[in-house]
């Protein structure tokens, strides 16, 4: 019988107590998310189902979409990942989201390594604990397969991690053998940046900050093979994006499309101050931890509705201002530390250790700069004022900056016993408050699971009833169409119409062709929608004998009689 020495094995694997703790936290965070998606939270919608349909078409039709259907700037990486998982486990929303859980687990690994490299392993563990929890706003963006957001977390953290490691380990005495390996790492940075840019251009501020760190921290290596390897990796990672934009029609390139989306609500002429309010007082708190329980007033005025508007303002504004103040303090500390090292650097009298400290503080500053750029680009967009409670996903990159933001609350330089304890308590209380808010947010999500299950059962009942009456080609609204098509495994094909019956927002035109070709296609309209009211007031009453009317599962269904089986008017 062989007895294994676990401590010896862990030592050989270079896994200490902090690494063991990190692995445990990552496992728990992953299991938590598996449990949540296992209960079908959040309820899927047509955007996510579009990603599922892309995965199905990749798997069964051999398609290779460059972008999310109907968009020319958000890549299809999640669809390819979903296709691989569909092949192993079969198509479902759970399987589609399983790929996102994998991406999030990898993100946690990278954020631990980044925080350990730039700060300390203790702080890195605290970051993992905070990120393993999450409110509805955070968890939705981590678990909904709507393109680009978990990818941004992973690749954004990875480019900052690789850039920081390369800059901190760069010196003129690198051995030739080590130079070859470093060229490979430079190529990996380019690959991660390219994949991230293809997946979602939201990562651009993070890539810019990490690139500046590489330029200044590794300037000695730009005359070697490092630069060609980096560019090669970048081209390989962003190849789908590059190929499309080289051949795109004027105005249809990714940047032009993204800029149009950025200014989609410019015609509303919203006050500029409202954009800042929406960004800092609503979107920022939601994506970083506040549970979005307060009704929000948007448009010409930004505020809160409901019975407790003042409490909502204090909760949201307190969190947003607190996050911003911590970011500013961390930025000032990093700049001050760099300024102290400046005279020695200018005189070239600094030792290798002092150079390392300068690079370390600059890397921290670039991490913080990525958050500043992300907030700036979002705050100058009209979207920040028009739909701040829904557009918080554009700030997903701020989660990468959590190590830097909480760093002012970590550690103490005082040596006096009482003063140290007071300082530690003052710093520790905000950290405990942050953790409690995130824990409460996770608890709220679990409270929603029964409601989610009921909604999912209603969705499944709708598909069952439509198949039962033979309605396999249908017209409906956007938030119904692709969801039904995916959840029925394309047994039901749907085309999107607006309140006037015109085709709009159809992401996959083959579905429109298929529905139009069926003269007995049914109208499946939400019972409280403009489409249902319009159809009931026009087509159904002009020619009642042509349609058989059903009411079930929250929908009004009008099925041409020639294709409908004999059954009662409502089910």
At 258 the pLDDT is 73
Residue 359 placed within a domain: yes
If asked whether residues 485 and 361 sit together in one domain, one would say: no
CB 187 within 8 A of CB 230: yes
Question: Which strand ranges, in their side-by-side order, compose the sheet holding 547-552?
Answer: 493-496, 473-476, 522-526, 555-560, 547-552
CB-CB contact of 382 with 268 (8 Å): yes
Cβ atoms of 50 and 60 within 8 Å: the answer is: no
Within a domain: residue 292? yes
CA distance 20 to 14: 10
> Do 534 and 398 lie in a common domain?
no
> Are residues 360 and 288 part of one domain?
yes
Give domain status of residue 360, yes or no.
yes
pLDDT of residue 299: 64
Regarding whether 391 and 271 lie in a shared domain, the answer is: yes
| Domain membership flag for residue 304 | yes
Model pTM score: 0.90
379 with 485, same domain: the answer is no
* Distance set, CA 107 to CA 115, 157, 517 (Å): 12, 7, 46
- Same domain assignment for residues 290 and 389: yes
Tokens (6 digits) for 58: 């990749």
Q: Which residue has the tokens 């969801």?
A: 483
Q: Cα 251 vs. chain centroid, distance in angstroms?
A: 26
Residue 82 lies in a domain: no
Taking a C-beta distance cutoff of 8 angstroms, is the pair 207, 196 a contact?
yes
What pLDDT is stored for residue 219 in this prediction?
Answer: 84
Residue 399 shares a structural domain with residue 530? no
pLDDT recorded at residue 174: 65
Residue 129 lies in a domain: no
* Residues 475 and 380 grouped into a single domain: no
| Burial tier of 195 (Cβ tally within 10 Å: 0-12, 13-18, 19+) | buried
The Cα 338–Cα 332 span in angstroms is 10
Looking at 99-211, which runs of residues are DSSP E strands?
none
Neighbours of 408 (CB within 10 A): 18
Out of 374, 393, 410, a domain closes at 410
* pLDDT tens-digit series, residues 396-453: 999 999 999 999 988 654 445 666 666 666 677 888 889 999 999 999 999 999 999 9
* Within a domain: 210: no
**Last residue of one domain, picked from the residues 410, 427, 459:** 410
Q: Are residues 370 and 495 in the same domain?
A: no
Residues linked to residue 296 through DSSP beta bridges, in sequence order: 304
Write out residues in the chain with pLDDT < 70, as ranges: 1-14, 172-177, 260-270, 299-300, 343-350, 411-426, 538-545, 562-571
Cβ(319)–Cβ(346) below 8 Å: no
Number of domains in the chain: 2
Do residues 295 and 406 share a domain? Answer: yes
**Residue 497 pairs with which residues in a beta bridge?**
503
Cα(504)–Cα(496) distance, integer angstroms: 6
Note down the domain range covering 557: 469-563
Domain assignment present for residue 453? The answer is no
């Amino acid at each position: 019988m062989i007895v294994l020495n676990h401590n010896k094995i862990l030592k050989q694997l270079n896994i200490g107590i902090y690494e063991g703790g990190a692995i445990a936290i990552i496992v728990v965070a992953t299991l938590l998310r598996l449990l949540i998606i296992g209960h079908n939270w959040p309820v899927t919608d047509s955007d996510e189902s579009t990603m599922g349909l892309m995965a199905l078409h990749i798997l069964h039709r051999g398609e290779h979409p460059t972008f999310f259907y109907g968009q020319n700037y958000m890549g299809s990486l999640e669809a390819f990942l979903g296709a691989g998982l569909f092949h192993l486990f079969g198509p479902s929303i759970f399987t589609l989201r399983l790929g996102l859980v994998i991406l999030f687990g990898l993100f946690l690994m990278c954020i631990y390594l980044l925080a350990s490299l730039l700060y300390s392993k203790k702080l890195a563990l605290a970051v993992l604990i905070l990120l393993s929890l999450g409110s509805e706003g955070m968890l939705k963006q981590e678990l909904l397969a709507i393109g680009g957001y978990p990818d941004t977390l992973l690749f954004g953290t990875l480019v900052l991690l690789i850039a920081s490691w390369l800059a901190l380990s760069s010196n003129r005495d690198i051995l030739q053998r080590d130079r070859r390996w470093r060229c490979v790492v430079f190529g990996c940075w380019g690959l991660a940046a390219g994949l991230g840019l293809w997946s979602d251009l939201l990562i651009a501020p993070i890539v810019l900050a990490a690139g500046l760190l590489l330029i200044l921290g590794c300037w000695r290596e730009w005359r070697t093979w490092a630069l060609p390897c980096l560019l090669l990796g970048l081209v390989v990672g962003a190849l789908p994006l590059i190929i499309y934009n080289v051949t795109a029609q004027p105005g249809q390139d990714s940047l032009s499309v993204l800029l149009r989306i950025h200014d989609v609500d410019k015609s509303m002429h919203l006050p500029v101050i409202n954009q800042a309010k929406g960004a800092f007082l609503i979107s920022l708190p939601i994506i970083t931890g506040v549970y979005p329980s307060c009704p929000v007033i948007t448009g010409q005025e930004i505020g809160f509705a409901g019975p407790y508007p003042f409490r909502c303002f204090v909760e949201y504004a307190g969190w947003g201002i607190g996050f911003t103040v911590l970011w500013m303090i961390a930025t000032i500390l990093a700049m001050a530390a760099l300024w102290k090292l400046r005279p020695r650097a200018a005189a070239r009298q600094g030792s290798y250790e002092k150079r390392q400290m300068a690079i370390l503080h600059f890397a921290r500053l670039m991490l913080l700069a990525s958050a500043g750029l992300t907030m700036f680009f979002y705050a100058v967009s009209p979207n920040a004022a028009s739909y701040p409670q829904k557009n918080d996903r554009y700030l997903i990159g701020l989660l990468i900056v959590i190590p830097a933001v909480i760093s002012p609350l970590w550690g103490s330089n005082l040596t006096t016993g009482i003063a140290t304890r007071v300082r530690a308590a003052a710093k520790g209380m905000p950290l405990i408050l942050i953790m409690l808010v995130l824990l409460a947010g996770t608890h709220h999500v679990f409270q929603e699971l029964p409601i989610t299950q009921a909604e999912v059962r209603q969705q499944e009942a709708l598909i069952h009833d439509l198949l039962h009456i033979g309605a396999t080609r249908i017209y409906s609204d956007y938030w119904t169409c692709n969801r039904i098509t995916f959840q029925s495994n394309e047994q039901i094909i749907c085309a999107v119409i607006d309140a006037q019956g015109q085709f709009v927002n159809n992401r996959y035109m083959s579905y429109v062709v298929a529905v139009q070709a069926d003269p007995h296609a049914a109208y499946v309209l939400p019972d409280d929608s403009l489409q249902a009211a319009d159809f009931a007031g026009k087509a159904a009453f002009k020619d009642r004998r042509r349609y058989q009317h059903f009411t079930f599962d929250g929908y009004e269904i009008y099925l041409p009689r020639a294709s409908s089986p004999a059954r009662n008017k409502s089910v």
